[in-house]
Chains A and B, each alone.
Chain A
């Protein structure tokens, strides 16, 4: 399939590698990752931005990849769960913590939870407040990830298996 009025070639970086998929203009990043690039780590739970299973990092920020049109991502840097671990095979510390804490059962929400947690930790460090952050806290100062902060910031990622308490423990393991 080549570029035409309905398709475009989109140069972008995926997990550190330069890629140039030709994408249908209607395709979401999630579908391009899963169907074209074979990166099925990002999951489709709802396709409507309601569950977080498709969470990946774009330019370091967590996004619901089912809500992003792939054609809009020229030059962006995408990291999926497959690209979190350092090359050489070790698990990323959060991946390790999820296994240690049994922070999942079926595992279908898990890549999204992990990518979301990576993004959330970076946001807190950058001083972004959440709904539960003390309004009196210094604006822009790093936010300490208490259990309440973790719960709040990861509430866009549904886990129907109900692994939430273990997910919170896993995130604490890497932030403390």
Chain B
């Protein structure tokens, strides 16, 4: 299909598509430099304590093993902002699965055998891995502005006691794992003091900064390449231990080293979504107007670093109520470090809030779409700032129309086909609009081609393609004349693909560079370009427009999810029959890749609702479901008719493209919509995810 000239918004085909379908696209573990050695890490088998001794004799005797690194012989690293990267630096074991040794060998088989042959003894200490929301050790952390992460308006407790209609419920979300299909991997090599690493990362710029600090090198002596990345969903958003270990092993052995983490290690070392216990208290007038909203969330973090799953933040954005308290608390435990997983905070927070809203609608005898419409607002409740745009009501109405919501009989258990109870549910979604400073360059060449350079990362979003569209639009040229180079620290520095902010951040700089280039070219009209081309660059650091915190507007994307489920009354099995989402996320820049992002995130939300479940084992202190046979992500047969639509917003307060991020909002309301549909189908309200047959069949 030829590319069109109306670049932005067009369904332009993914540029790396042919490379991906033919197997030509190379990921981090798919580089085979000469002399390559393979590494295999050894995870700790206690939940808390210290390494007492390491015996590597048997490992070193394995043919092909070239070395064993432990805290006793590993080189000392420089400062790590993130303590999970201080690998093999001391004897401390903060959680089960923490790496205590690394075996390097000529072959993968030898490395693996060697790792199994390392004998580690421990001085074990009692551990605590149980998330107890009432624990006195739970504390209120700081919010991003450095204030206590508990916000209060009015007198929420009094207002709740006085409210004519009340809901007081506690929702729980279990630990969840990102599990991108490509396990975290890095191939590192040192050549004359220069380090080159292929890393599966969502942001190579930060990986380079971190490696520079850890290995005490100037950044210019390091190149980090993340050309193709097999998904991340937050788990590759910051540097992870594998890249440090691979770089360390390559330096110690003098050979290129490849480390691809075994799938079963990931749960312990690349982050997870912390479990949350969320108490919601909603008070309303008889007409549905919210008078008070109390959302209190407790999550866990590790002893190594504080990470907070900020579920209550969504209740500062969604619905106005004169009285409110929204607080996040966190409890440090001897667990692996939690981290970002797609819509961190928003996904579990909106699951609880939107489920509680459904309960309120039932208590009021009010249609749940109508309840949300009655509590719509033009200003952000927590800050009083006007929204730059908010089309939640439009999403709800458009979704209801497309879904056929009007035909729904509101009574639970009102529809059945044989033993299958059928119900439908709705939930709203929200995700903040974020942006970070970025650099980019644009060049024009005598052959009529243009090249855009920016260290963006394409983790599957189609960044190469959409940035070419942004450039083509700014330059006023057809998109097929623009080539994009991304995924290497040799390119202009750029922030990570995360927080649904990549396209806005990179695109802003690309747009700026192209606008400057267009101006330069206009000044040279009719002249032959020099062979090296004409270029312009941009850096959005310090531009006041990118500083949203200081802005007078609140910026968020919104959406509405609708789900229809069939529940087998005999087995308790829930099958999703239809999922439909309508999103208001600014201007959609590429209809084709945007649709894939929306339905992909909705699919992950379906998993959150029905199949994904991890258990922190109290005795052992590890996740019981650590592989893909036990941690159930949705498969093709789980995913039925899936529709994503959008309302194109014209919001002048965003960025030159007028876009909001779209990578995460699709997951946000999905689980609540499905849970609400299960209630409508069965009359049973489960308040703990996932909704599995064992729980449902006993309640039916």
| Chain A contact residues, CB within 8 Å of chain B | 6, 24, 26-27, 31, 34-35, 38-48, 50-51, 53, 80-82, 84-85, 91, 95, 98-100, 102, 104-111, 114, 148, 150-152, 154-168
**B contact residues around A148 at 8 Å (CB):** 637
Of listed A6, A47, A81, A162, residue having the most chain B CB within 10 A: A162
Contact status of A160 and B109, CB under 8 A, knowing A45-B182, A45-B263: no
**B contact residues around A46 at 8 Å (CB):** 183, 263, 627-628
Complex: A35 Cα to B107 Cα, angstroms: 9
Chain B: minimal CB distance from A113 (Å) = 9
Contact status of A42 and B603, CB under 8 A, knowing A106-B181, A158-B633, A162-B639: no
**B contact residues around A114 at 8 Å (CB):** 21
Closest to A38 in B: B32
Chain A: minimal CB distance from B592 (Å) = 5
Q: Is B22 touching A91 in the complex (CB atoms < 8 A)?
A: yes
Q: Is B109 touching A43 in the complex (CB atoms < 8 A)?
A: no
Q: Is B237 an interface residue (CB 8 A)?
A: no
Complex: A148 Cα to B641 Cα, angstroms: 11
Q: Is B23 an interface residue (CB 8 A)?
A: yes
**A contact residues around B642 at 8 Å (CB):** 164-165
Identify which of B26, B63, B109, B633 contacts A40 (C-beta below 8 A).
B26
Closest to B30 in A: A40
Complex: A6 Cα to B600 Cα, angstroms: 44
Complex: A155 Cα to B604 Cα, angstroms: 15
Contact status of A161 and B596, CB under 8 A, knowing A40-B30, A45-B263, A106-B459: yes
**B contact residues around A91 at 8 Å (CB):** 18, 21-22
**B contact residues around A108 at 8 Å (CB):** 27, 180-182, 230-231
Q: Is B23 touching A50 in the complex (CB atoms < 8 A)?
A: no
Q: Is A106 touching B460 in the complex (CB atoms < 8 A)?
A: yes
Closest to B629 in A: A50
Q: Is A82 touching B182 in the complex (CB atoms < 8 A)?
A: no
Q: Is B108 touching A35 in the complex (CB atoms < 8 A)?
A: yes
**B contact residues around A80 at 8 Å (CB):** 23
Q: Is B260 touching A44 in the complex (CB atoms < 8 A)?
A: yes
Q: Mind listing 22 A-B residue pairs with CB under 8 Å?
A: A31-B109, A45-B263, A48-B628, A81-B21, A82-B23, A91-B22, A102-B592, A105-B462, A106-B180, A106-B182, A106-B230, A107-B20, A108-B27, A151-B636, A151-B639, A155-B636, A159-B181, A160-B633, A162-B639, A163-B599, A164-B636, A166-B599
Closest to A45 in B: B181
Q: Is B23 touching A81 in the complex (CB atoms < 8 A)?
A: yes
Q: Is B230 touching A43 in the complex (CB atoms < 8 A)?
A: yes
**A contact residues around B602 at 8 Å (CB):** 162
**B contact residues around A162 at 8 Å (CB):** 599-604, 634, 639
Q: Is B628 touching A105 in the complex (CB atoms < 8 A)?
A: no
Closest to B462 in A: A105
Complex: A165 Cα to B636 Cα, angstroms: 8
Q: Is A168 touching B636 in the complex (CB atoms < 8 A)?
A: yes
Complex: A27 Cα to B183 Cα, angstroms: 19
**B contact residues around A156 at 8 Å (CB):** 635
Closest to B635 in A: A155
**A contact residues around B638 at 8 Å (CB):** 155
Q: Is B461 an interface residue (CB 8 A)?
A: yes
**A contact residues around B302 at 8 Å (CB):** none
Q: Is B596 touching A105 in the complex (CB atoms < 8 A)?
A: yes
Chain B: minimal CB distance from A6 (Å) = 8
- How many chain B residues have a CB neighbour from A under 8 Å? 63
**A contact residues around B233 at 8 Å (CB):** 160
Q: Which residues of B in the span 584-624 have a Cβ within 8 Å of any Cβ on A?
A: 592-593, 595-597, 599-604
**A contact residues around B680 at 8 Å (CB):** none
Q: Is B627 touching A166 in the complex (CB atoms < 8 A)?
A: no
**A contact residues around B264 at 8 Å (CB):** 48
**A contact residues around B462 at 8 Å (CB):** 105
Q: Is B592 touching A107 in the complex (CB atoms < 8 A)?
A: no
Task: Please encode chain B, from 639 to 676, with 1 for each CB lying within 8 Å of some chain A CB and 0 for all others.
Answer: 10110000000000000000000000000000000000
Complex: A100 Cα to B592 Cα, angstroms: 10
Given A45-B183, A163-B599, 19 further pairs, Cβ under 8 A: A35-B108, A41-B23, A43-B27, A46-B263, A46-B627, A50-B627, A98-B17, A104-B21, A106-B181, A106-B182, A106-B229, A106-B459, A107-B21, A108-B181, A111-B23, A155-B637, A155-B638, A164-B639, A165-B639
Q: Is B164 an interface residue (CB 8 A)?
A: no
Q: Is B228 an interface residue (CB 8 A)?
A: yes
Contact status of A31 and B601, CB under 8 A, knowing A41-B22, A102-B592: no
Q: Is A160 touching B231 in the complex (CB atoms < 8 A)?
A: yes
- What 7 pairs across the A-B complex have the smallest Cβ distances? A41-B23, A162-B603, A108-B230, A106-B460, A107-B20, A105-B460, A162-B600
Q: Is A43 touching B181 in the complex (CB atoms < 8 A)?
A: yes
Of listed B593, B596, B599, B604, residue having the most chain A CB within 10 A: B596
Closest to B666 in A: A162
Q: Is B14 an interface residue (CB 8 A)?
A: yes
**B contact residues around A98 at 8 Å (CB):** 17, 21
Of listed B21, B182, B629, residue having the most chain A CB within 10 A: B21
Chain A: minimal CB distance from B135 (Å) = 33
Closest to B600 in A: A162
Q: Is A26 touching B109 in the complex (CB atoms < 8 A)?
A: yes
Complex: A99 Cα to B635 Cα, angstroms: 20
**B contact residues around A85 at 8 Å (CB):** 22
**B contact residues around A159 at 8 Å (CB):** 181, 636
Q: Is B179 an interface residue (CB 8 A)?
A: yes
Task: Please encode chain B, from 47 to 71, with 1 for each CB lying within 8 Å of some chain A CB and 0 for all others.
Answer: 0000000000000000100000000
**B contact residues around A165 at 8 Å (CB):** 599, 639, 641-642
Task: Please encode chain B, from 518 to 529, with 1 for each CB lying within 8 Å of some chain A CB and 0 for all others.
Answer: 000000000000
Closest to A83 in B: B23
Of listed A104, A154, A156, A167, residue having the most chain B CB within 10 A: A104
Chain A: minimal CB distance from B342 (Å) = 10
Q: Is B21 touching A99 in the complex (CB atoms < 8 A)?
A: yes
Q: Is B636 touching A42 in the complex (CB atoms < 8 A)?
A: no
Contact status of A24 and B109, CB under 8 A, knowing A107-B230, A161-B231: yes
Q: Is A102 touching B593 in the complex (CB atoms < 8 A)?
A: yes
